[in-house]
Structure 1
């Protein structure tokens, strides 16, 4: 957490830099007139949820990431199965937090019904998760509207995979308008949260990945057997607290103590390896890069104006079809 006056001033300057990176179609304090207490309602509900269940901070950030990378930040990840959306995205990705997002939405609806989109609620909740779980916050623009469709067939072409190499990751993020700096900064979200053994076992068997610290890998093998343990939940960060968002991730990358090929590969390219080292050495600078990347990601293919709708509930379109 940034506690010194110097760090606080640096974060203020970096917050101003974040303001300049926001999508031109979105606006800071978007609900200042239509629902002045909107962000406060999201923040209070998010804080209560994470206080009761600390692992939800990472879950909210992951929902936001998956939503934005598939069809843009339109809350399509939240839609349930229906006649018009028979195979929604949520059927293809094992994510947590749907009920909790509904809780946040209900809190906002109680303040001003029919005004705040589920897409913005996801963005604000992810931002507030950084505050609760990481000890820093930043401005997040609003104005996103909710999409009407969700299709799990959109997932494979949209999401970067845990087995990707660094150049493929850079291309994947670039296709969404994000830079290599954004890629490395956002990867820091793997400092908290959970994964499953099925995503890690390719690095454990038939032999340990040579880029993985051996003692770390052997410990993982005891948790993730070669057969039958694919669905076992696993903390992303087994080195320190798995519920704290921090630059510890970069220290783990350097030590070879990370879960995915897509994590360790950041050390295989001179440019991204330098970014990893810089983020490991300077936690406040990483906070600023993470904040800017979260805002940049929140501008991916957004619906604004009269596009889409403002859903009454996050799991269904207003037509209910």
Structure 2
């Protein structure tokens, strides 16, 4: 369980959003919020083991199995096994009562204090980053579709390529028409009219937000080039060269490609250098041909 889950508890009028994370199934962090206040609790392995003995003295099970049982119960949306109380100091206690494996009675209590985090930091900032990532993905996909249409158009106009199966042929992508059709669809209307709790607890949103958290904590190495119309830079023996994509002509002889590691003086020399060609005249070509013909006549 890594995303937000909806939790209804006896004793509370409002629905809580809860999130429980555990890296090694021994310690855990539990966060609860009503979209106004945020409560949290963090337990180490020793603290979790001590609490388990206090509430379940007859239970003998590995701590990892106990943490897994608690997380699966929270994830199952069982409303009849949770109860909650909130005191004047804004401390909330959420109690869990159900059966452990084998029918053994099980009891647990989350004792959450008011967190210094605000609901804006817990929900608004991640949602804002999610919107930006989806916008970048959307723009990249639109650009890719348009370039694919140009590629298909080139095949049809200059190579005479046709589709072997007629049902596979599609019209060229029109972004305005696509957006208009999407906004009129029932799926789009249902999505934009959902309440905030349903959106935050959606599996697809939770998966995307978990991926963003992973990208922030462990960022991937950035690419030097997006590979659209440029070659891929590769460092060979300490120098950066440009590999030509396929179907690209090589530069003329004598023309040097500017390297990323060139000094400013080298770049100035390359910019001011003049490439001189020594064209062969038509008369010299014809004279050489005549000499070859004369040699052949002498042989006969």
- TM tier, shorter chain? under 0.3
Task: Please report the TM-score for the alignment, with normalisation by the length of structure 2.
Answer: 0.20
Which is helix-richer, 1 or 2? Answer: 1
Task: Please report the TM-score for the alignment, with normalisation by the length of structure 1.
Answer: 0.19
* Structure possessing the higher relative contact order (Cα contacts under 8 Å, 6 or more residues apart): 1
